[in-house]
Structure formats: C-alpha cells, structure tokens
C-alpha cells in the first residue's frame, strides 16, 4: 500500500472513511472535504433518521433498533450504504461517517466493496484526548429563547450566563453535560479504535491531530489526499 497522495486523476473513485469521537470536528471536516472533492457525505445516523422520517421500508426495519439506541443489523446497514454508493451523487466518491462502526462491519464492508472492485482508499482518524473532547462539548451553552449557541472558551457571551441578544439565562443541553459526554465517549471510543486498528493493518490510516485549528486539520488531510480529483 502506497503512502503517496491519492487524489490524482485515477479511475478509482475516492471512498474515504472519517473517524472521530463526538466533538472531534468530524462533521466540519466532512463538509469541507465534500465540497473540495465533490464527494457525497454519508453519515449513518442521518441516513437512518431520514429513512425513518420518510417511512421507507429501511426506516421501518431500523426503527426498533434506533429507538432502543442499538446498532441496526449489519445486513441492513451495509445494504443502505451500497445503495447510497450506487447513486450518481457518489460518482466521484464518498465520505463514510459513522459506518463501519465495529470491526465486524468493517470486514463485511471490505468484502462487499471488494466484490464490486472497490475499497476504502483512506481512513482519516481525527484524534483528540478525551478531556479536550469533554471540554469542547460540555462548554456549549444555548439560549432557550432564540437558540443562539455559545462556548465558554471560544465564543462566550458578554454577560456570563446570559444571551447577548435577549438576556435570557443560557442552558446546557442534557446531552452536553460532562458526565453524559464522558459516558458517551466511554461507549463510543473503544469500537472506534478497533476499526482504526483494523485499517491500520492495511496501511491506509492517516492519524490527524484534532486539537489543531479546523484549518490545520484540513491542511493535514489535503496533504495526505493530494489535489482535487473532482471538478
Ligand atoms: P448516530 O446519530 O450516529 O448516533 O446514530 C443514530 C442511530 O442510528 C444509532 O443509535 C443506531 O441505531 C443507528 N446507526 C448509526 N450508525 C450505525 C451503524 N454503523 N451500524 C448500525 N446502526 C447504526
């Protein structure tokens, strides 16, 4: 497996896997990369929620698992991604986000892609220490009146604890409380690391320091992937 930039003109479309915990900046990088390379951003949770909202057979099949907060069975999840990858929007390639989430899913996806003559080209792992992630997420505050969001470190209100627009007392989302964030990370991180390990064996992982600025992380990714592959 080569370590050279891979975004050169090639017949093989660019399928990337973006890995990162809550607060690592994965969504931000996904939208930048999607614009830069003309890739479709396939985020598993969003796809399932859209299927559920649209009442499709897939959404109905996924419903009970989602409501229980469990993983949807692999066959359904893989079928959903293969269907998304077959759409014209994915002609230039795709950014997979939230899938594969376990080594079992990774192996099943590798086999399914290989049968179609494809593969994940690179795995971008945005890495941030747990305590930094907790601080990032737990520092978020929102105005219950106008929904303006603030952050203790980067975007604090002029009058501490009050909205700049309407003076309402700011609140923290239940999901953003430090102990909730820690519990979420404890559950999320070990399988994520196992997936990265799995692709490490194929030599296709780029580990990125997610404590840097958004721009620096993007730069580091572009340095790995190379020039644009899509117009
Ligand atoms: P998320 O927004 O990533 O937390 O995902 C919301 C829900 O979608 C999860 O609780 C699962 O039920 C389902 N889901 C998301 N990603 C996967 C996946 N890779 N495999 C199976 N189910 C998933």
Is there a catalytic annotation at residue 187? no
Regarding the beta carbon of 77 and ligand 1, being less than 6 Å apart is answered yes
Any atom of ligand 1 within 6 Å of the Cβ of 69: yes
* Ligand 1: centre distance to CA 7 (Å): 29
Residue 5 has pLDDT above 60, yes or no: no
Contact predicate 129/77, CB 8 Å: no
- Report pLDDT for 231: 36
User: Which carries the bigger pLDDT value, residue 191 or residue 12?
Assistant: 191
> Taking all residues of the chain, what is their mean pLDDT, rounded to a whole number?
92
pLDDT, position 168: 97
**Residue 1 pLDDT greater than 50, yes or no:** no
Q: What is the mean pLDDT of the segment spanning 147-175? A: 95
Distance of CA 93 to the CA centre of its chain: 16
**Any atom of ligand 1 within 6 Å of the Cβ of 44:** yes
Cβ-in-10-Å burial (0-12, 13-18, 19+) of 141 comes to buried
Per-residue confidence band for 229, with pLDDT thresholds at 50, 70 and 90: very low
Look at residues 145, 187, 152 and name the one whose alpha carbon lies nearest to residue 169: 145
pLDDT band at 228 (very low <50, low <70, confident <90, very high): low
- How far is ligand 1, taken at its centre, from the CA of residue 13, in Å? 25
Residue range 20-41, pLDDT digits in tens: 999 999 999 999 999 999 999 9
- C-alpha distances in angstroms, 59 versus 83, 97, 109? 14, 18, 20
CA–centroid distance, 66 to ligand 1, in Å, is 7
pLDDT at residue 95 greater than cutoff 90 = yes
Domains and CATH numbers, the chain: 14-128+189-226 (3.40.50.300)
Residue 81 is predicted with a pLDDT of 95
Do 198 and 123 contact (CB within 8 A), yes or no? no
Active site residue 13: no
Mean pLDDT of 116-142: 95
User: How confident is residue 124, by pLDDT bands cut at 50, 70 and 90?
Assistant: very high
133 falls in which pLDDT band (50, 70, 90)?
A: very high
Q: For residue 155, which of 170, 145, 144 has the smallest C-alpha distance?
A: 170
DSSP code at position 72 = P
This prediction has a pTM of 0.88
pLDDT tens for residues 45-85? 999 999 999 999 999 999 999 999 899 999 999 999 999 99
Kindly tell me if the per-residue pLDDT of 112 is higher than 80. Answer: yes
Q: Taking 70 as the threshold, does the pLDDT of residue 3 lie above it?
A: no
* Residue 146, pLDDT score: 97
Distances (CA, A) of 77 to 22, 26, 70, 106, 141: 21, 20, 12, 11, 34
């Amino acid at each position: 497996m080569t370590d050279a930039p891979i975004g050169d003109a090639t017949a093989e479309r660019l399928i990337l896997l973006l890995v990162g915990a809550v607060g690592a900046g994965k969504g931000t990088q996904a939208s930048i990369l999607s614009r830069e390379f003309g890739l479709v951003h396939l985020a598993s949770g969003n796809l399932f929620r859209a299927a559920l909202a649209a009442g499709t057979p897939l959404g109905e099949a996924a419903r009970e698992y989602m409501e229980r907060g469990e993983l949807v069975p692999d066959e359904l999840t893989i079928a959903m991604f293969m269907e998304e990858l077959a759409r014209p929007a994915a002609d230039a390639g795709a950014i997979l986000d939230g899938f594969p989430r376990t080594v079992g899913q990774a192996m099943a996806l590798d086999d399914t892609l290989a049968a179609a003559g494809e593969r994940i080209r690179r795995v971008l792992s945005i890495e941030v220490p747990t305590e930094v992630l907790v601080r990032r997420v737990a520092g978020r505050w929102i105005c219950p009146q106008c929904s303006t969001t603030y952050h203790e470190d980067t975007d604090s209100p002029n009058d501490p604890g009050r909205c700049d627009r309407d003076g309402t007392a700011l609140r923290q989302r239940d999901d953003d409380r430090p102990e909730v964030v820690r519990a979420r990370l404890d559950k999320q991180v070990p399988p994520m690391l196992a997936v990265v390990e799995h692709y490490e064996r194929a030599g296709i992982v780029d580990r990125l320091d997610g404590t840097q600025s958004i721009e620096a992380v993007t730069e580091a990714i572009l340095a790995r992937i190379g020039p644009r592959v899509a117009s």
